[in-house]
């Protein structure tokens, strides 16, 4: 294990040290931040003993010197930043449990899948202390204490839902985007966070549920006419809902987005195994509610039919519970 990096005075809490959280925590610790990992005992015990190993497309790293905790009751703040990296269905619970540990001038950052996470955090700590990021790289835990970065489609995009509201908050978003990038995680500032989050939902909704149900990696899905037709329908429905939701997507139509999707985004993540597939294989709950479920719910709000997305959401719900009669 390499020697711990030189410390700086910024304290960061990774609230959910799974694959994504471990990568963010590892690179920030390597850059000298005082990082606390909150997560599962087996993973954190391995890190405490041997350090955190990160490998994959961003090189091989071994990082130590973390503080660790398996329960929020044992955390000590205040923290300059709290990075929320839990599954979307745990956002409210984890934010409520750590909100009191945020420094007076600190920020909570949602680095999560789906829609609604940033709004949930805002309702707990205030919009003036909430940032979000569109994160679109793939990572997985290979073994306790070992995170692997497999693919990246675009740099992370850090911002807020209303960049006109608070100049100090936007300056903080720019600082954190620069901090992540300097630490080795490609990142940029965005003043269009809602559009970036919606664009990721389009990408995830087309690939994650179908890939999980068929048990294949992303790149296999466009190669069959049948699965490609399902993805096209998913994107048509979701794009219509995004427009009604005022997402401000930088695409004139679903057809224009599909060109970006098939020509650039899918090839960049060709071999990635869907996170929903990994969840189903491990017997864990998926994030279908924050992705496809949000498309269906918002579609109903605007009177936009979403039958294909609704069917995929129901199939994933069945897969989570097991086939009827078993």
Active site residues: 200
- Say whether 102 sits in a helix, a strand or coil: strand
- Say whether 326 sits in a helix, a strand or coil: coil
Integer CA distances (angstroms), 10 to 33, 70, 184, in order? 6, 21, 17
- Say whether 109 sits in a helix, a strand or coil: strand
Integer CA distances (angstroms), 231 to 62, 127, 261, in order? 39, 34, 10
Spatial contact of 147 and 53, defined as CB atoms under 8 Å apart? yes
DSSP string, 55-110: EETT--EEE---EEESSGGG----EEEEEE-S-GGGHHHHHHHHGGGEEEEEEEEE
Order of strands across the sheet that contains 137-143: 61-63, 52-56, 146-152, 137-143
Spatial contact of 271 and 150, defined as CB atoms under 8 Å apart? yes
Spatial contact of 24 and 139, defined as CB atoms under 8 Å apart? no
The rounded distance, in Å, linking the Cα atoms of 321 and 175 is 43
Integer CA distances (angstroms), 129 to 66, 108, 302, in order? 25, 6, 30
Which phi and psi (to 5°) does residue 7 adopt? -80, 145
All residues at 6 or more sequence positions from 98 whose CB lies less than 8 Å from its CB, including other chains? 13, 15, 38, 72, 75, 79, 82
Spatial contact of 244 and 211, defined as CB atoms under 8 Å apart? no
């Amino acid at each position: 294990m390499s020697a711990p990096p030189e410390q700086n005075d910024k304290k960061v809490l990774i609230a959910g040290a799974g694959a994504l959280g471990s990568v963010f925590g590892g690179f920030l610790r390597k850059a000298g931040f005082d990082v606390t990992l909150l997560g599962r005992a087996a993973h954190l015990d391995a890190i405490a003993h041997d350090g955190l190993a990160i490998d994959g497309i961003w090189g091989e790293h071994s990082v130590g010197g973390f503080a660790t905790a398996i329960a929020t009751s044992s955390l000590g703040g205040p923290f300059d930043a709290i990075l929320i990296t839990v599954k979307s269905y745990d956002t409210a619970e984890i934010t409520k449990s750590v909100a009191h540990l945020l420094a007076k001038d600190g920020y909570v950052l949602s680095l999560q899948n789906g829609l609604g996470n940033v709004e949930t955090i805002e309702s707990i700590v205030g919009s003036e202390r909430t940032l979000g990021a569109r994160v679109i790289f793939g990572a997985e835990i290979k073994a306790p204490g070992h995170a692997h970065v497999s693919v990246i489609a675009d740099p992370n995009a850090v911002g807020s839902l209303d960049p006109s509201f608070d100049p100090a908050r936007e300056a903080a978003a720019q600082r954190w985007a620069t901090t992540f990038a300097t630490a080795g995680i490609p990142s940029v500032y965005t003043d269009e966070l809602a559009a970036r989050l919606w664009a990721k939902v389009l990408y995830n909704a087309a690939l994650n549920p179908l890939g999980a149900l068929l048990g294949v990696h992303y790149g296999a899905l466009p190669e069959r006419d049948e699965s490609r037709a399902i993805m096209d329908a998913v994107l048509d429905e979701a794009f219509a809902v995004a427009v009604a939701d005022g997402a401000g997507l930088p695409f004139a139509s679903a057809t224009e987005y599909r060109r970006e999707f098939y020509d650039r985004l899918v090839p960049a993540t060709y071999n990635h195994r869907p996170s929903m597939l990994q969840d189903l294989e491990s017997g864990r709950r998926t994030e279908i509610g924050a992705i496809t479920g949000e498309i269906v719910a918002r579609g109903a709000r605007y009177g936009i039919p979403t039958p294909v997305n609704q069917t995929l959401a129901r199939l994933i719900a069945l897969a989570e519970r097991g086939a009827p009669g078993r």
